[in-house]
A and B are shown apart, each in its own frame.
Chain A
Amino acid sequence: MLWGNVIFSKVLSGILVLFLLILFQSLLSGLVTIAGIKLDLAIIILVYLALRRGRNYGMIFGFLIGFLSDIFTPHTLGLGALVKCLIGFTLGSFKDNLYLESLYSKGAVIFLTLLLNDSLYYIITTGVSDSTFRVLSHYSLPSAFYTSVVGMLIFLVAAKIHQERLDAEKSSVQLE
């Protein structure tokens, strides 16, 4: 019963995260775009969830956010889902082996994940050509840098909230 509740709460929180992501992408992403450089919140969330909850969660979440991004380019429907699903799975597999203590290392993971995601996507769709490198250097690199900086801040806030929750749980156990 307890296990069922845990799964149910995980599914609910997953749906909530997806809902917030769609809300952000639809209404707010324009507000945080700087000089045409867009923030990829989906990648931040994918990295965070995969590293925190493991490969199953990373895989499912990667597939879903990839699928949602694919609906804007129907001719490649399924490709974003495939790429992000594999990335989520790979990152999630490192959950217990990758000790990312410093904030910079987390930022580096976000940076590399975004570049890997874009590289796979463009190479599969257009092959390796001049335009692939041009797209990667002009769109992906600035966005990867911006996203990793914002991602570090989000990770910092998330870690503080997590720590506060742990402290509260500890003190309630001590009181009992």
Chain B
Amino acid sequence: MEKFSFLIRARKETLLHLSTFILLSLLLLILPRSIKSDISAFVFRFTYGPFYALGNHVKELEGVREENKRLHLRVMEFSLKNFWLNEERLENRRLRELLDFRSELKYKVIPADLVAAEPNRRHFSVLINKGTEEGIKKNMPVVNMHGLVGKTVDVSPHTSVVQLMTEPSFRVSALDQRSRVYGIIRPGSGFTLRLGNVPLTEDVEVGDGVVSSGLGGIFPPGIKIGMVTAVESQKTLSEENFSFGIFKRISVRPSVDLSSLEEVFVLEVEKAIEGEEWSGRE
């Protein structure tokens, strides 16, 4: 009997503990987003933060000499390119004035380092070391030198969460660079992407470049997204809702290697910098 009462007591205690943890989890879930971000940033600073900082520091030291050499070469390349681009820019301005075009989109680039990636198996988001204090806001496009990376979704004072293109809910309006066909980029399987909503009659070929179209208001036009790797035009019932025999099934390989991101740039669209301007709006 005594043993039996002990069991009942133990069970009640356990259920009480379980209820407490469930309540605590639900409480965390219903907290306002800003408080959640603050809690996450605070906990990160005292748990993963020091280790990631150490890892990043070691990585930086490892490649710094090679990187320096490589960057010197790049600077030379870009200097030469710059002469040519300046000429092009002046010509562009003259032509725009002639055609009476409206002023272009303007943007500022905020460089940021990756401080952490999701430790579990998903490649859906990464944490960068810039936040509201550095001018980052929610829904800002994030790129690197190879192309589009994603957008900011959660912003704390000194860190931000970047939603990668592989996140299931990620969408960006895009267009085929060659044929100017519009579509919507969404995640595919693994690290691949899909260019959806492209009718069967449209002209898209393997090897075509895919860039952001500028529609949708978040991503400026002309940012490289990837390259078409497969186009299926059969009028078959597909697993995707958006391709019920009306649309092409187009696979796109991202131009950015999302599994090994290090340095990224956050674009502050419509913020002017002296002497720089966005010239890709159609």
Contacts and interface: CB of A to CB of B under 8 A. Distances in A.
Interface of A: 22-23, 25-27, 29, 33, 36-38, 40, 42, 55-56, 59-60, 63, 66-79, 81-82, 85-86, 89, 122, 126, 130-132, 134-135, 137-140, 143
A74 B22 contact: no
A100 to B, nearest CB: 22
Given A27-B55, A55-B14, A69-B120, A77 B36 contact: yes
B63 interface: no
A73 B240 contact: no
A69 B22 contact: no
B26 interface: yes
B154 A26 contact: no
B275 interface: no
Given A23-B51, A56-B17, A130 B120 contact: no
Contact of A26 (B26, B33, B119, B191): B119
Contacts of B190: 36, 138-139
A59 B120 contact: no
B39 interface: yes
Nearest to B38: A74
B52 A26 contact: yes
Interface in B143-195: 153-154, 156, 161, 168-169, 187, 189-191
Nearest to B48: A26
A152 to B, nearest CB: 18
B244 interface: no
Contacts of B17: 56, 59-60
B121 A143 contact: yes
B199 to A, nearest CB: 20
B119 A25 contact: yes
Contacts of B44: 71-72
B127 A82 contact: no
A133 to B, nearest CB: 9
Contacts of B48: 22, 25-26, 68, 71
Interface residues of B, number: 51
A55 B10 CA distance: 11
Given A26-B48, A139-B122, A36 B127 contact: no
Given A29-B119, A56-B17, A79-B25, A71 B40 contact: yes
Nearest to B189: A138
B119 A63 contact: no
25 contacts: A22-B47, A22-B51, A26-B48, A26-B51, A27-B51, A59-B14, A59-B18, A60-B21, A63-B24, A67-B28, A69-B120, A71-B40, A71-B43, A71-B47, A72-B118, A73-B125, A74-B154, A74-B156, A77-B31, A77-B39, A82-B29, A85-B18, A85-B22, A134-B187, A140-B121
Given A63-B24, A70-B40, A77-B39, A36 B123 contact: yes
B37 interface: yes
Contacts of A27: 51, 54-55
B121 A74 contact: no
Nearest to A144: B121
A150 B28 CA distance: 32
Contacts of B156: 74
A23 to B, nearest CB: 6
A81 B47 CA distance: 16
Contacts of B54: 26-27
Interface string B1-41: 00000000000001001100110111111010100110111
Nearest to A133: B239
Given A26-B55, A77-B31, A77-B40, A139 B121 contact: yes
Contact of B43 (A68, A86, A122): A68
B252 to A, nearest CB: 15
